[in-house]
Amino acid sequence: MALIMETPVDALIKDEHETPKWKKSTVVFVLGGPGSGKGTQCANLVKHFSYTHFSAGDLLRAEIKSGSQFGAMIQSMIVDGRIVPSEITVKLLCKAMEESGDDKFLIDGFPRNEENRIVFENVAKIEPAFVLFFDCPEDELERRIMSRNQGREDDNIETIKKRFKVFVESTLPIISYYESKGKLRKINAAKPSEEVFEAVKVLFAS
């Protein structure tokens, strides 16, 4: 059941008289290389704070499973470690936020490049409150991905190398952009998960 073309998001955006709840929401972007612990730490955060977590990668994988007309294209891009066209990812994110009925979101694994960032800003008209960055060296990330087994088609050494390259070339500039705006909160993610969470918690408690 692929709803991407029937999403009510477009209609909502055009409505100038009523602002839906999610359009006034607090958004925190969660970035970091593949295997840096974004999903793990977001799962920890929602247990302690009233945020709703959406992983852009998980939404894309769900879209493939739903039998979407874009499924084959999304799948081939993920297997190749490439970034899916922003229009698709942004629609999925806006639809998920709208349907949740909530107004505080952790968005993990997005924006991955400048196009992602600009399309989200233009469509959702939301600027992140801040951006969490899980900083971790590449050899540690590679070790973690190769030792986890989530049955993901992109967790093989060939795709991992491509994902690292895309991260350095496309996502690091976004991280620098938010740093220049004073919005970056950098966390040392090369430590045990519990220790990383202690550092993360502090940012949300204030």
Instruction: Enumerate binding residues for Mg ion (CB under 5 A).
Output: 39
CB nearer to Mg ion: give 39 or 85.
39
CB nearer to ligand UDP: give 15 or 87.
87
Stretch that binds ligand UDP, among 45-53, 83-91, 119-127, 179-187 (CB under 6 A): 83-91
Question: Is 128 an interacting residue with respect to ligand UDP (CB under 6 A)?
Answer: no
Least CB distance to ligand UDP at residue 16 (A): 28
Rounded Cα–Cα distance for residues 109 and 181 (Å): 19
Which residues, at least 6 apart from 48, have a Cβ–Cβ distance to it below 8 Å?
A: 201, 204
Least CB distance to ligand UDP at residue 26 (A): 19
Least CB distance to Mg ion at residue 126 (A): 21
Strands (E), the chain: 26-32, 52-55, 104-108, 130-135, 184-188
Q: Is 191 annotated as a binding residue?
A: yes
Q: Which two tokens mark 192?
A: 């045990």
Q: For residue 116, what are the β-bridge partners?
A: none
Least CB distance to Mg ion at residue 55 (A): 5
Which residues, at least 6 apart from 107, have a Cβ–Cβ distance to it below 8 Å?
A: 27, 28, 29, 30, 54, 56, 93, 128
Q: Which two tokens mark 170?
A: 């496309």
Between the alpha carbon of residue 198 and those of residues 82, 84, 130, 189, 201, the distances in Å are 32, 33, 18, 11, 5
Report the residue from 84, 94, 126, 200 that binds ligand UDP according to the rule CB under 6 A.
84
Q: Is 148 annotated as a binding residue?
A: yes
Question: What residues line the site for ligand UDP (CB under 6 A)?
Answer: 34-35, 38, 55-57, 60, 77-78, 81-84, 89, 109-110, 112, 116, 154, 163
